Amino acid sequence: MSGKTTLLIAAAVVGVGAFFGYQYWRDKQSALPAGIASGNGRLEAKLVDIAPKESLRVKQIFFEEGDLVKPGDVVVQMETNTLRAQLEEAKLNVVATQEKESVAKATIVRSKAQIDLAKVEVNRSKNLVAQRAGSQRELDVRNTQLKTTSAALQEEEAKLRTIQQEVNVAKAKVATIQTRIDDATLRSPILGRVLYKLAEVGEVLAAGGKAMTLVNLEDVYMEIFLPSADAAKVKLGAEARIVGDHMAGRAVPGLVSFVSPEAQFTPKQVETKSEREKLMFRVKIKVPEKIVSSYIDAIKTGVRGVGYVKLDPAVEWPAFLQSAAAPETAGKDVQH
């Protein structure tokens, strides 16, 4: 064997040794201490559908798929020409009924004045009769006029109450139509990103028909699955970490917000201890809203990664999980 061949073999042995040494060092660096469990998962978020309350035509769409929307942003405007015509008609009806109300009130004022006059006439007739200067017939006529005028007043007051109810109904109709017009302006209720644009301008959507679907970036989480032995030790609110495949060297802090009370993967038989250990329970790790806000331009749901959960709160995070992203630095360190 030549010296050159020997050198090549030695170099190969050193290379292989270095490779396995690096692998061993890396495994040691990422090894989890007792008291911390992990599982594969992906970043997820709740979905929110944007839809009109009634059948209307799409007038304008303000955001495209992938765009970031904030709470209160107008995302879709529905056509409201018909509703606005109905609103104007309802407003005119309010004016007309209010005029009827004014007339009824004026009639009541006149009736009250007539009653006052009739009372004066009755008193005058009584005095004349007492002085034998007037007839009883005249007094009877005055009393009849007073009763008739009083009855007319009661009738006018009843009419006024009816008209006032009509005014309230007319105003309520205006408010109802205005609400329908306001509801035709579809706003985002959340901080999110447009996942799907499901309608086009000019399209008529049925009541409840989806115009677009948003990803709720205020509710970002990762779900992992842990064996029963680990899941039994997980407490709600326990510290957690999320490491996405696109976030090398950075860990996102989180908290355990849910532990499933039922196994997700159940063997056909769970009679022995070894079989019970195969049971897997779903654990949800929620990312705090402050962290999400800092990562808002970088968060991509569906990204795969690994979730880590503390089973023992006294255990310290290993080195590769201690570099947790903080709100003030998150926006600078995330790879877009």
Please give the pLDDT value at position 335.
33
Residues 176 and 73 grouped into a single domain: no
- The DSSP 8-state label assigned to residue 100 in this structure reads H
Average pLDDT over every residue of 192-207: 94
Number of domains in the chain: 3
Q: Is 129 a member of any domain?
A: yes
pLDDT digit string, tens, across residues 24-71:
334 444 578 888 999 999 888 899 999 999 999 999 999 999 899 999
> Residue 180: pLDDT above 50?
yes
Average pLDDT over every residue of 120-145: 75
Residues 243 and 125 grouped into a single domain: no
Per DSSP, helices labelled H in the chain are: 3-30, 81-130, 136-183, 228-231, 273-276, 289-294, 319-322, 327-333
Residues 41 and 139 grouped into a single domain: no
Residues 252 and 321 grouped into a single domain: yes
**Token duo for residue 20:** 């396995």
Residues 103 and 137 grouped into a single domain: yes
Please give the pLDDT value at position 13.
52
Residues 145 and 291 grouped into a single domain: no
Of the candidates 230, 232, 200, the residue with the CA atom closest to the CA atom of residue 307: 230
Residues 61 and 200 grouped into a single domain: yes
Residues 59 and 192 grouped into a single domain: yes
Q: Is 211 a member of any domain?
A: no
SS3 readout for 128-163: HHHCCCCCHHHHHHHHHHHHHHHHHHHHHHHHHHHH
Q: What span, in angstroms and rounded, lies between the C-alpha atoms of 253 and 240?
A: 6
Find the CATH number of the domain harbouring 192.
2.40.50.100
- Quick one: pLDDT band at residue 148, thresholds 50, 70, 90? confident
Higher-pLDDT residue of 149 and 16 is 149
Q: Is 266 a member of any domain?
A: yes
Residues 71 and 162 grouped into a single domain: no
Q: Is 325 a member of any domain?
A: yes
Q: Is 26 a member of any domain?
A: no
Find the CATH number of the domain harbouring 329.
2.40.30.170
- Quick one: pLDDT band at residue 269, thresholds 50, 70, 90? very low
Average pLDDT over every residue of 124-135: 73
**Token duo for residue 72:** 């209160």
Residues 224 and 296 grouped into a single domain: yes
Residues 177 and 223 grouped into a single domain: no
Please give the pLDDT value at position 143.
77
Q: What span, in angstroms and rounded, lies between the C-alpha atoms of 4 and 226?
A: 53
Mean pLDDT of the chain, nearest integer: 82
pLDDT digit string, tens, across residues 211-252:
999 999 888 999 999 988 899 899 999 999 998 887 666 788
Provide the CA 104 distance to its chain's centre, in angstroms.
47
Q: Is 1 a member of any domain?
A: no
Q: Which domain holds residue 195?
A: 50-79+185-205
Average pLDDT over every residue of 277-292: 85
Whole-structure pTM value: 0.66
Q: Is 10 a member of any domain?
A: no
Q: Is 4 a member of any domain?
A: no
Handedness of CA 58, 63, 69, 72 (dihedral sign): negative
Residues 312 and 235 grouped into a single domain: yes
